[in-house]
Amino acid sequence: MQVPLSDALPFLAKGAYIAIVLSLLSIFLGFVIGIVVAIAETYGGRVVRYIAMGYENILRGIPLIAIYFILFFSLPLLLHIGMSAFLTAVIGLGIRSSAYQSQIFRSSIQSVDKGQIEAALSLGMSRGETILHIVLPQALRFSIAPWLNEYAVVLKDTSIALVLGIVELTEKATQLVQVTKDPFLWYGIAAVFYLIIVLTVVTIANRISEKYRIKGLGGMIRV
């Protein structure tokens, strides 16, 4: 059976929309937790550091699909709290991304040289003020390139949310394939959608990168 493109494209676009929303919410959640974990790992006391490192290593060591099953099936049994499939998808993808993002931020934070931290302290700034005004503004700039990489991973892994019953781009394409028996065409178009989304985000990030580039310091890092 044939499906005209005029019907199929809006159908796929809805899936792409779900993928975009899911990926943006997840990467944002991962960003917030990732920064906190990175700061805890770098500046925390022993206990805080070990907790943060444990969190990071556990989440990097478990497949996303297992994280989803634990959140969706095991937690309700243990704690009697249930979440919608969409919320589960965001939290699962978000916390896994936070583990990878914390690695990105940790290495950027550590690449801000210690001399600047001493200079800030010598002016009378607190440790918190130093992190906020001196370390993070530079660390975030260093993080843009590896962070884009992580966004691409998160976007592509939104497709795994189909195990929770979320019909996003890949699942929409699968449905079209089942009707038309033409996997090459529909998965191909889905791939193009993913590519367009990633390139859009890369373009935006490069604009941001250029805007906040520190003048005099090498060229801008294009991705």
Partner 1 sequence: MYEEILKVVDLKKRFGNNEVLKGVSFSIGKGETKVVIGPSGAGKSTMLRCINRLVEPDGGKIYFKGDEITSKNVDIKKIRSRIGFVFQHFNLFKHLTALDNVKIGLKIVKKLSDDEATERAYKALKMVRLEDCASKYPAQLSGGQQQRVAIARALAMDPEIILFDEPTSALDPELVGEVLDVMKELSKKHVTMLVVTHEIGFALGVADEILFFYDGVIWERGKPQEIIYKPKKKETKDFLRRIFELYSRGEEE
User: Which lies closer to partner 1 via its Cβ, residue 25 or residue 39?
Assistant: 39
Any long-range contacts for 45-54 (C-beta under 8 Å, 24+ apart)? Answer: 52/102
- Considering Cα of 205, then 209, then 211, then 212, what sign does the dihedral take? positive
Q: Is 10 in the site for partner 1 (CB under 8 A)?
A: no
Helices 85-110 and 5-43, axial angle in degrees (round to 10): 50
The residue among 108, 74, 95, 103 whose CA lies nearest residue 25 is 95
- The residue behind tokens 């990633």 is 198
User: Interaction with partner 1 in 120-159: which residues (CB under 8 A)?
Assistant: 120-126, 129, 133-134, 137-138, 141
User: Which lies closer to partner 1 via its Cβ, residue 156 or residue 213?
Assistant: 213
User: Which lies closer to partner 1 via its Cβ, residue 119 or residue 179?
Assistant: 119
Site string for partner 1, 67-106 (x = CB under 8 A): ----------------------------------------
Residues that bind partner 1 (CB under 8 A): 113, 115-116, 118-126, 129, 133-134, 137-138, 141, 214-217
